[in-house]
Amino acid sequence: MRRFRWTEWILTAPPLLWLIAFFALPTGLILLLSFRSAAVHGGIGPEWTLNTWKSLADPVYPAIIWRTLWLSAACTGACIAMGLPVAYWIARLPRRVRSWALLLIILPFWTNFLIRIFAWRTLLHPDGALKALLVWLGLAEVNDQLLYNQWAVLLVLVYTHLPFAILPLYAAAERFDFGLLDAARDLGATRGQAFARVFVPGVRVGMLTALLIVFIPALGSYAIPELVGGPGSEMIGNKIAQRIFNDRNLPLASALSVVLAVAVFLPLMLGVWLRKRLGDGLVSRGGHLS
Amino acid sequence: MKLSRMPLLVSLLVLIFFYLPMGMLVLQSFNQARFGGDWTGFSFRWYSELWARRDIHEATWNTLRIAMTATAISMVLGSVAAWCLHRYSSRLQQLHRSLVYAPLVIPDILMGISLLLLFVHLNVPLSFNTIIVAHITFCVSYVALVLLGRLQDFDESMIEAARDLGAGWGTILRRILLPLLGPGLAAGGLLAFTLSIDDFVITFLLAGPGDTTLPIKIFSMMRRSSPQIINALSVIFMSVTFAIVILSQRLIRPKP
Amino acid sequence: MKFSRFFSFAGSALLAGFFAGCGRDDRPVLHVYNWSDYIADGLIAQFEEAFGCRVVYDTFESNEALYAKLQAGAAGYDVIFPSSYYVSLMAEQGMLQRLNHANMPHLKHVDPAVLAAVSLDKEMTFSVPYMTGTTGIAYRKDRVPDFEASWRVYGRSDLAGRMTFLDDMREVLGAALKTLGHSLNSTDPAEVNAAADLVIEWKRNIARFETVGYKAGIASGEFWVVQGYNGDVQMVIEDNEDEDIVYALPEEGFAIWEDTMAIPAGAPNVELAEQFINWMHSPEVAAANIEFNYYHCPNTAAYALISDEVREDEMVFVPAETLARGEQIRDLGEHLSLYNRAWDRVKSAH
């Protein structure tokens, strides 16, 4: 038995040590560095201080944090709203066709993320075809800018994260017993009611996963607001990058990163806890639902 | 039960939503006009301009080098990690598990910054090596995840049987584990490779002087060049990644 | 076995990748960190051939970004191109090498008139002038027929969403300071804050802060009014043969700047760096650069070599009366933090 444990430690050591050194340690370092002062011309200062944290009281930051939260939430909401019908549809397809449908959904994800953003920049060009169409339909003025505002950011965020939402929703939909929907119809429910009251709760574990998988990375967006956002649509990621690249205020960048990490950690813990509760609840009821 | 139209409709709209920008990219890459407003003629000129640009070749080469190194090392670390997580279930593994899963949910910018601060603090100059270290760190988790999935379907009794028959771990590794887990390993490796060539934020934060990778090049070109040349580059990039995806699908297709 | 073939292929590809990385190039390497589109095409290749080396060329978009990168310990650069008002700051911090003029005979060509009037490092102790130019407004006359050469165009809400500013603290705050009748090197907190307030008002009308993308933007019609550098704008006009783009120097005043070449302390290849700086001031090279980027390289020998068209171009060689309306950007010393805070306020405001 002794030799067995030695083997375990030796085998686990390489990945474990790597992750501790290059993941756990740096994350702890951010927390530590947020308590240092900033050197006058950039870099890490020599003293320990609470000033960096105090400077976060500046009204600028709550505004950005709020914007980050609401954009991420809106993106998540949109992704789940669109993802549910898609997951439903794919799960109802005959088995042979399903993997092709999934491939079709997933394929855009495999293109480089910057390229996708760039494609939207071209599409949303103020003199482009899409804008012309909108003007013709009377939905936009000639001088309107589709780009460089919060809506452009939201649009591209949804575009980027939708495939990630569809996958777990589909995984849950696959295990859903569609017979329950027939039963609901027999009992007099309309299609819409059956969808909303039977299907949606039936895949709620998938919804939870989708929520986590979209909301948390969206919080940390940097490139999207940078490239299609305007001066008024900065998110925390941009601020952190600005602090690092332009101001060289590393302690402040660290403090903001800690804020972001907390914003990430809380829903994550909540989500994991909820998942356990949901998972147990469903199994103990002995239903067909996952 | 009769299929409701709504999910079908939404799915079609979503598919159009997905492919519209990319279709436009492909179309415009053949447009002769400099700024892609109106179609002025079919042309390969952007592709030939692309061919002539040495800086893009260099960036591509850098990207591949980083990806191959990071993939190789993360495949090793990731398989070891998956094996341990599957086989053992001690407290050590609980810690191990949370460390393996955590990078999957942390936003890239956090991971990039924490590593940047680590290197700045330790006075390690930024270079390709720092980028590779970062790539390995996030790739390990993905490889481990994919392999763990395959391991769960793995039939342990084969190993027991082999040991009963006197096989050493070396033989077991060569004759049982690698062949059966091979496709999963390959899929994990391909996933890691694609993530590495695609990565922008982390690489951007950790790049040293002159370290340009393709995503970084695209980012800087997005602000500068005629958009058409980026379209051409994008089309090529897309075709390569699609080819890799199709290949990986072939590899992990369950054996008949 | 399909996958084993894949493995051997992958394995050999990996190995090939590893080894191909080594032993590829024995030539000495020069790392150059410059603004984008600043050196004529083909010149770098010429330098590589003439001196038997390889040049790794990186670009940055603002002095702050350059400074931040060097501060972060990016120690691999040999030649950098800071603006003159950053040189004294960097020299004070020991970030720059003293230049050995004995190694750079071409420095005798540097125009003494420009050194006296514009340069801040007049003895060329730490930096050598590279190009000097102005910052003004470029606009599309087909979209803005009623343009008046004033910074107040940024207050026009009918042009909202179609204008950009440079993402540069000194340039933007400077424009506002000039509009309010102050010096763009003002150290008076009241003036600087008033300028910041004005920019915040203007900010409502701009699409974004753009130091590089405005060029493609104005050429494609995405933007109609952009704050830009004279040479960049001229490059856009020439490259696109677009006569609808016009460069204007506002009445209230504008910035005059000078970009320089310098060698960071701890540069890996100081000798090659000095050779590069020297070579950049050989008359033919300087002339080629002027013809390429339409800026004024203060090299007297080069003036004779450029075409008449460029020599008489008032955008490149600005006449004295026009230049008198402009003001040189200077180093602010310890007052820099005043501007930093104001800029931060601008960037964060709605």
Prediction ipTM score: 0.81
C6: distance to nearest CA of chain A, Å? Answer: 21
pLDDT at C23 over 50: no
Q: Is residue A47 part of a domain?
A: no
Search chain C and give the residue with CA nearest A250.
C72
- The total number of structural domains in chain C stands at 2
Q: Is residue A42 part of a domain?
A: no
Q: What is the mean pLDDT of chain A?
A: 82
Mean pLDDT of C190-202: 94
C137 and C252, same domain (yes or no): yes
CB nearest B125 (choices: C3, C13, C73): C73
Structure confidence at residue A170 (pLDDT): 87
Contact map slice: A 48-87 vs B, CB within 8 A: 82, 85-86
Mean pLDDT of A32-53: 75
Q: Evaluate whether B211 touches B126 at the Cβ level (below 8 Å).
A: yes
Select, from the ranges A53-57, B45-49, C301-305, the one with the highest average predicted confidence (pLDDT): C301-305
Structure confidence at residue C32 (pLDDT): 93
Q: Evaluate whether C166 touches C225 at the Cβ level (below 8 Å).
A: no
Domain that holds residue A226: 59-116+144-284
The pLDDT tens digits of the residues spanning A175-216 come to 888 888 888 888 888 888 888 888 888 888 888 888 888 998
Domain that holds residue C289: 29-131+257-317
pLDDT at C302 over 50: yes
Report which of residues C164 and B219 the model is more confident about. Answer: C164
Structure confidence at residue C284 (pLDDT): 93
Contacts of A244 in chain C (CB under 8 A): 68
- The helix/strand/coil state of A216 is helix
pLDDT level of residue A41 (50, 70, 90 thresholds): low
- The total number of structural domains in chain A stands at 1
The CATH number of whichever domain residue A210 belongs to comes to 1.10.3720.10
User: Which residue from C167, C325, C336 is spatially nearest to C253, judged by alpha carbons?
Assistant: C325
Q: How far apart are CA A58 and CA A68, in angstroms?
A: 16
User: Whole-angstrom distance between the N-terminal and C-terminal Cα of chain A?
Assistant: 38
Select, from the ranges A99-113, B184-198, C256-270, the one with the highest average predicted confidence (pLDDT): C256-270
Q: Looking at the complex, does the CB of residue C76 fall below 8 Å from at least one CB of chain B?
A: yes
CB nearest B34 (choices: C1, C10, C240): C240
Q: Is residue C7 part of a domain?
A: no
Q: Is residue C18 part of a domain?
A: no
Mean pLDDT of A8-33: 89
Tell me which H or E stretch contains B87: helix B54-87
Report which of residues C348 and C172 the model is more confident about. Answer: C172
C247 and C120, same domain (yes or no): no
Q: Is residue A232 part of a domain?
A: yes
Contact C350 A232 (CB under 8 A): yes
Place of tokens 């080594």: C22
Q: Is residue C34 part of a domain?
A: yes
Exposure letters B123-139 (e unless 16+ CB within 10 A, then b) = eeebbbbbbbbbbbbbb
CB nearest C65 (choices: A148, A230, A245): A245
Structure confidence at residue B248 (pLDDT): 72
Structure confidence at residue C8 (pLDDT): 47
C38 and C187, same domain (yes or no): no
Tell me which H or E stretch contains C225: strand C225-229
Contact A41 C206 (CB under 8 A): no
C113 and C262, same domain (yes or no): yes
Which CATH number is B41-252's, of 1.10.260.40, 3.90.950.20, 1.10.3720.10, 3.30.420.40?
1.10.3720.10
Q: What is the mean pLDDT of chain C?
A: 87
Search chain B and give the residue with CA nearest C219.
B35
Lowest mean pLDDT among A201-205, A237-241, C155-159, C176-180: A201-205
B106: distance to nearest CA of chain C, Å? Answer: 24
Report CA Rg, chain A: 24
pLDDT at C226 over 90: yes
Lowest mean pLDDT among A253-257, B16-20, B208-212, C173-177: B208-212
Q: Looking at the complex, does the CB of residue B84 fall below 8 Å from at least one CB of chain A?
A: yes
Contact C36 B212 (CB under 8 A): no
Mean pLDDT of C180-188: 93
The CATH number of whichever domain residue C150 belongs to comes to 3.40.190.10
Contact C207 A43 (CB under 8 A): no
Q: How far apart are CA C87 and CA B13, in angstroms?
A: 56
Structure confidence at residue C285 (pLDDT): 94
Please give chain B's pLDDT, 256 residues, in tens. 455 678 888 888 888 988 888 888 888 888 877 665 667 778 888 888 888 887 888 888 899 999 999 999 999 999 999 988 888 888 888 888 888 988 887 888 888 888 988 888 888 888 889 999 999 999 999 899 888 877 877 777 887 888 888 878 788 777 887 787 787 888 888 888 888 988 888 998 888 777 888 888 888 777 666 667 878 888 888 788 778 777 777 766 654 4
Structure confidence at residue B252 (pLDDT): 61
Q: How far apart are CA A50 and CA C160, in angstroms?
A: 41
Mutate to test the interface with A, among B31, B60, B80, B109 (most CBs of A within 10 A): B109
Contact map slice: A 151-190 vs C, CB within 8 A: none
Structure confidence at residue B157 (pLDDT): 81
Q: Is residue A21 part of a domain?
A: no
C190 and C262, same domain (yes or no): no
Residues found in chain A = 290
Q: Is residue C276 part of a domain?
A: yes
Contacts of C14 in chain B (CB under 8 A): 68, 71-72
* In chain B, domain spans: 41-252
Tell me which H or E stretch contains A37: strand A36-38
Q: Looking at the complex, does the CB of residue A159 fall below 8 Å from at least one CB of chain B?
A: yes
Q: Is residue A5 part of a domain?
A: no
Contact B37 A128 (CB under 8 A): yes
Q: Is residue C229 part of a domain?
A: yes
Pairs across A and B, CB distance < 8 A: 235
C105 and C157, same domain (yes or no): no
Q: Is residue A203 part of a domain?
A: yes
Q: Looking at the complex, does the CB of residue B19 fall below 8 Å from at least one CB of chain A?
A: yes
- Residue A281's CB is within 10 A of a number of other CB atoms, namely 13
Mean pLDDT of A20-32: 90
Q: Is residue C177 part of a domain?
A: yes
Contact B90 A185 (CB under 8 A): no
Q: Is residue C22 part of a domain?
A: no
